[in-house]
Amino acid sequence: MRKIIGGFAVSIDGFIEGPNGEYDWIINDPEYFKEYSRQWKKIDTMFYGRKTYQTVIKHKDLSKPFAHMKHYVFSRSLKEVEPGFILKKGNVKKEVMKIKNEPGKDIAVFGGAVFLSSLINLKLVDDPVLAAGNNNK
């Protein structure tokens, strides 16, 4: 069975976003992410909640490094998603378990504290990963 890797990007002071929704505090240094690049080779699928999906769509450059992967968006309110994304509605646990049981590599949850916490509460996250940064510029 495939594993779900739940990544948390959080500032030292405990926030994911700045007061205006900014995430520019996250370190974007290739040296810093060398270890993550090894882990990305084990992943072929990304999960998004609605809010993270909408951020990715606004900033299309966020999804470029992951273009070769399958992209699932979990949302109760969205009616459709952009090409390249697969919308999943309904019972989250049932949908996630179907995907986990398909052949393939591991699955990463991309952003989305609300969605990620719901997966944790459903005991679906196999490997939580914490990436910290400094929000004090």
Q: Which amino acid type is present at position 120?
A: I
CA–CA dist 134, 52 (Å, integer): 21
Look at the alpha carbons of 10, 11, 12, 15 in this order and tell me if their dihedral is positive or negative: negative
CA–CA dist 11, 16 (Å, integer): 6
Specify the pLDDT at position 8: 61
Q: Which domain holds residue 44?
A: 4-16+29-133
Question: Along the 137 residues of the chain, how does pLDDT read in single tens digits?
Answer: 999 988 666 555 656 666 776 666 555 555 555 555 677 788 999 999 998 888 888 876 655 667 788 999 999 999 999 998 999 998 999 999 999 999 999 999 976 677 888 898 999 999 876 554 444 44
Specify the pLDDT at position 63: 54
Number of domains in the chain: 1
Whether residue 82 lies inside any domain: the answer is yes
Q: What is the CATH number of the domain that holds 125?
A: 3.40.430.10
Whether residue 24 lies inside any domain: the answer is no
Q: Which amino acid type is present at position 56?
A: V
Specify the pLDDT at position 57: 85
Q: Which residues of 65-77 are buried (b: 16+ CB within 10 A; e: fewer)?
A: ebeebbbbbbbee
The token duo for 114 is: 């609300």
